[in-house]
């Protein structure tokens, strides 16, 4: 079985503003990377994301960035053991809607088939959906849903 998922949500802001909220580490740190983000998301860059619920900065390799349209990144799979030895691929797509909102779709794939891979994919699916909810609350209303949630 191929382990992959896709989640999406609509943000009531123009695509350029929503895209910038992801690629700018200062903005990303205000609603998602609770321990901070280091490095701007650009093609070929290596950035670091830190989360209070999973302490320790994670290296994230940015494979491709197409402004206001798509971000593709790779990061280490977390199969329940440190150093799982392989990466998963995350694709974020940004679509400007006719009503001025932005549809954000996040997909992730590449886990090894088996109980640990399945568990890890479920955890990341939960995390990406939470990211979309937190992004919507922050961009539309200035509220950080993750503040104090894990620490």
CATH of the domain at 71: 3.30.530.20
Per the structure, how many domains does the chain have? 1
The residues near 148 (Cβ < 8 Å, ≥ 6 apart) are none
- pLDDT of amino acid 34: 86
What pLDDT, on a 0 to 100 scale, did the predictor assign at position 80?
57
Full domain range(s) for residue 123: 3-19+62-141
pLDDT recorded at residue 56 = 80
So what's the pLDDT on residue 91? 98
- Closest listed residue to residue 42, CA positions, set 16, 62, 19: 62
pLDDT-derived band at 151, boundaries 50, 70, 90: low
pLDDT at 148 over 80: no
Domain annotation covers residue 30: no
Is residue 133 included in any domain, yes or no? yes
Domain-embedded: residue 31: no
Is residue 148 in a domain? Answer: no
What number is the average pLDDT over the span 77-91?
77
* Percent of the residues in the chain that have a pLDDT greater than 70, as a whole number: 95
| pLDDT confidence tier of residue 84, bands split at 50, 70 and 90 | low
**Is 24 within a domain?**
no
Decide: helix, strand or coil at residue 64.
strand
Q: Give residue 71's pLDDT.
A: 98
Is 149 inside a domain boundary?
A: no
Looking at residue 140, its pLDDT comes to 97
Question: Mean pLDDT, to the nearest integer, of 2-16?
Answer: 97
Task: Give 61 or 148, the one with higher predicted confidence.
Answer: 61
pLDDT digits (tens, 9 = 90+) for 87-134: 999 999 999 999 999 999 999 999 999 888 899 999 999 999 999 999
Half-sphere exposure of 135 (CA within 13 A, CB side): 29
Flag whether pLDDT at 82 surpasses 60.
no
pLDDT for 149 equals 73
CA distance to 75, 88, 123, per residue, from 15 (Å): 25, 26, 27
Does any domain span residue 11? yes
Question: 90 lies in a domain?
Answer: yes
Tokens encoding 124: 């990341």
């Amino acid at each position: 079985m191929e382990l992959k998922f896709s989640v999406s949500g609509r943000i009531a802001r123009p695509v350029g503003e929503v895209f910038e909220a992801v690629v700018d580490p200062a903005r990303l740190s205000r609603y998602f990377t609770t321990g901070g983000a280091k490095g701007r998301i650009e093609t070929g860059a290596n950035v670091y994301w830190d989360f209070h619920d999973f302490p320790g900065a994670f290296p994230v390799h940015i494979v491709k960035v197409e402004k206001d349209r798509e971000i593709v990144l790779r990061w280490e799979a977390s199969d329940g053991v440190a150093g799982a030895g392989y990466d998963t691929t995350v694709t974020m797509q940004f679509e400007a809607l006719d009503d001025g909102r932005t549809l954000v779709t996040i997909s992730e794939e590449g886990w090894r088939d088996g109980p640990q891979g399945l568990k890890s994919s479920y955890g990341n699916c939960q995390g990406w959906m939470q990211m979309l909810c937190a992004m919507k609350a922050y961009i539309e209303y200035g509220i950080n849903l993750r503040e104090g949630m894990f620490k």
